[in-house]
Amino acid sequence: MKYKKGLSLLFFVFLATAIFVVILFLFYFNGENGGAEPESAVTEKNESTDVGEPVSLPTLNETHLACSNNSCVAVDGAGSDECNDSADCQPVVAFPDLIIKNITMAVTKSSKNSTTNITWHTVKVSVTVKNIGTASANQSVTQITFAGDLLPMSSAKVFTSVLEPDKETTLESSYEELLKGDYDATASVDILRKIEELDETNNGFSVARLTVKD
């Protein structure tokens, strides 16, 4: 009887030990793989987060050109170039520029002396002065020169009013008691050189000619 009780106790000890070993094994196995996702899940995550090849952003210039003290220099920082060379950095200065745009001559009157049978003529010279500059031109003086085959050269200084840019005015000078023949007229603006202009070489005009007939 005592022998059977000993065997029963031994069997229960063995069974308890076996159960404990199984539990310990399962706990250890779960610890080794704890928190790990199944391979399929990892694969799906990698596929869902694949963004392709990395994109390279353009590198901005570290300097740009800018005007400083009338010079084109490189300055630190990204930005658009304000100039190409120092010529782009010079201040814009506005000046007038007077020219003789045109000269015309016309006979305005003819009268015949019945006693001498001589015809006398009056000729009008019209001069157009224009400001082709970028600033207003103050008052000036325009000289009109007139001469003929039998007439010594004479000149008239005509007052010229203020002219804004791209504006013009017409000046007139008349010459009386002229005989038939060829007559020439020239003109020069700002004859006293009182106005500083963009171009001082274009103030004159070539000769205009008129043939007067009885």
Specify the residue for token string 């009008």: 124
Query: Residues 177, 161: one domain?
Result: yes
Decide which of 154 and 55 is more confident: 154
Q: Is residue 32 part of a domain?
A: no
pLDDT at 141 exceeding the cut of 80:
yes
Query: Residues 126, 205: one domain?
Result: yes
Burial 101-122 (b: 16+ CB within 10 A, else e): bebebebeeeeeeeeeeeebbb
pLDDT tens-digit map of 153-208: 999 999 999 999 999 999 999 999 999 999 999 999 999 999 999 999 999 987 89
What is the CATH number for 195?
A: 2.60.40.10
* Structural domain total, the chain: 2
Query: Residues 132, 153: one domain?
Result: yes
pLDDT tens-digit map of 8-25: 666 667 777 777 777 777
pLDDT tens-digit map of 111-131: 999 899 999 999 999 999 999
Query: Residues 65, 154: one domain?
Result: no
Decide which of 205 and 140 is more confident: 140
Least confident of 3-7, 52-56, 159-163, 190-194: 3-7
Residues in the chain, how many?
214
End residue of a domain, out of 76, 91, 106 = 91
Query: Residues 120, 84: one domain?
Result: no
Decide which of 97 and 84 is more confident: 97
End residue of a domain, out of 75, 91, 107 = 91
Burial 16-45 (b: 16+ CB within 10 A, else e): eeeeeeeeeeeeeeeeeeeeeeeeeeeeee
Query: Residues 205, 116: one domain?
Result: yes
Q: Which domain holds residue 118?
A: 98-212
End residue of a domain, out of 41, 75, 91 = 91
Query: Residues 137, 122: one domain?
Result: yes
Query: Residues 102, 202: one domain?
Result: yes
Tell me which H or E stretch contains 4: helix 2-32
| Spatial CA neighbour of 191 closest among 151, 167, 156 | 156
Query: Residues 142, 192: one domain?
Result: yes
Q: Is residue 6 part of a domain?
A: no
For residue 101, the model assigns a pLDDT of 96
Structure tokens at 86: 């120092």
Neighbours of 149 (CB within 10 A): 12
Q: Is residue 15 part of a domain?
A: no
Query: Residues 129, 150: one domain?
Result: yes
pTM of the predicted structure, to 2 decimals: 0.60
